[in-house]
């Protein structure tokens, strides 16, 4: 059976050019980067070249880029450091963050007694900036603001500069989970008021198990993982050598092809939205589809019926991969905390379709045809 993969916000396929860049470091260049002989020096050079590449592409200093195992570790490191090393005693977040952030801030609130506030979410899924200002102004403690750049379920984009400037005004630390946007948008970190951002290679056709944490040069923190002196004493453990090489290569390709790929993907997304509106009565969209939103994500609200409740199961049987809200919990029956926060209507079933450079208009047509049959 032909499979159609419309769940690229969960993970993407590895680009063949990325695999080609990784292969030498999986075979003959296998040395431990901490070793002083030639094999080790070769590996160390590969890592530092990758770091410089990533820094250049994000317009950051190489000393601000740290390689990690992915977005979850990066966010955990940043949030914990803000509390333990930077004196933050009040966390301001939102109810629609990824669980890597949400569960971390809730854990710190319950285990360490850190104050925790959630900024209000507007019906279109954007955060209420006036409420954020209010929370910052009322706080008697130093704040950590942790808000994601693009929501992984509904695709809403945060105005990262507006939030960053607000944080600067109130001397707050700003962490943004940018896992859905690094590799999908150009970044200019030297001119972005942010203390920490995160990235994960597998979201833009790189390998799984590797990510980055950007730590602004003006921020000094201690390691989250204790052990050896890898990553300039910031992240202990033997480096994921070929993962790091793959991350840099994938980011290089994504940056070079941004204009063409973002246009192609956004066209597919808007085409599918129009087709669904035309052919399926009662369809609406979660989030700010026609406003400030991620070009890869389309979150569709189908009217609830016996058929639509089984939609993901039936799509899967027909070789179509999509998810109900966040892929990280799509196997659970709890539903999506993001959809609950913006739309309490129990008569709607949310399905997230997310696209990549490899998807085609023909695939969209096939999926829409199948949805007409199924619903």
Residues labelled catalytic: 328
Beta strand pairing call for 173-176 and 115-118: unpaired
Long-range contacts of 163-166 (CB under 8 A, 24+ apart): 163/127, 163/129, 163/132, 164/192, 164/193, 164/194, 165/193, 166/129, 166/132, 166/133, 166/136
* Neighbour count for residue 323 (Cβ, 10 Å): 25
Q: How far is CA 32 from CA 40, 46, 143, 309, in A?
A: 5, 11, 40, 51
Coil/strand/helix, residue 299: strand
Dist CA 342 CA 242 (whole Å):
40
- Residue 235 has phi, psi (to 5 degrees) of -150, 95
Coil/strand/helix, residue 118: strand
For 6-101, strand residue ranges (E) read: 65-68, 90-93
Dist CA 205 CA 253 (whole Å):
9
Q: What is the largest CA-CA distance in the chain?
A: 67
């Amino acid at each position: 059976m032909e499979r159609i993969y419309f769940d690229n916000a969960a993970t993407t396929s590895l680009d063949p050019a990325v695999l080609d860049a990784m292969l030498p470091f999986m075979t003959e260049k296998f040395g431990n980067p901490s070793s002083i002989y030639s094999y080790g020096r070769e590996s160390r050079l590969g890592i530092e070249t990758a770091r410089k590449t990533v820094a250049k592409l994000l317009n950051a200093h190489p000393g601000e880029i740290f390689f990690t195992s992915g977005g979850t570790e990066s966010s955990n490191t940043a949030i914990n450091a803000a509390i333990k090393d930077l004196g933050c005693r009040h966390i301001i977040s939102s109810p629609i963050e990824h669980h890597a952030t949400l569960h971390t801030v809730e854990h710190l609130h319950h285990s360490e007694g850190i104050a925790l506030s959630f900024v209000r979410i507007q019906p279109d899924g954007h955060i209420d900036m006036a409420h954020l200002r209010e929370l910052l102004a009322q706080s008697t403690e130093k704040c950590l603001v942790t808000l994601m750049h693009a929501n992984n379920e509904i695709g809403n984009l945060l105005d990262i500069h507006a939030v960053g400037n607000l944080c600067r005004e109130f001397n707050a630390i700003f962490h943004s989970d940018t896992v859905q946007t690094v590799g999908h948008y150009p970044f200019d970190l030297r001119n972005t008021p942010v203390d920490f951002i995160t990235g994960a290679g597998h979201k833009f056709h790189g390998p799984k198990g590797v990510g980055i944490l950007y730590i602004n040069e003006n921020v000094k923190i201690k390691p989250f993982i204790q052990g050896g002196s890898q990553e300039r004493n910031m992240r202990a453990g033997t480096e994921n050598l070929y993962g790091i090489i793959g991350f840099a290569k994938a980011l290089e390709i994504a940056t070079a092809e941004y204009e063409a790929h973002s246009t192609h993907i956004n066209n597919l997304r808007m085409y599918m939205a129009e087709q669904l509106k035309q052919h399926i009565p009662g369809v609406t969209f979660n989030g700010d589809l026609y406003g400030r939103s991620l070009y890869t994500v389309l979150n569709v609200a189908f009217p609830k019926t016996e058929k639509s409740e089984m939609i993901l199961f039936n799509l899967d049987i027909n070789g179509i991969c999509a998810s109900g809200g966040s892929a990280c919990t799509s196997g659970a029956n709890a539903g999506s905390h993001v959809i609950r926060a913006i739309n309490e209507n129990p008569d709607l079933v949310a399905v997230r379709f997310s696209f990549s450079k490899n998807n085609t208009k023909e695939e969209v047509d096939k999926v829409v045809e199948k949805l007409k049959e199924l619903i």
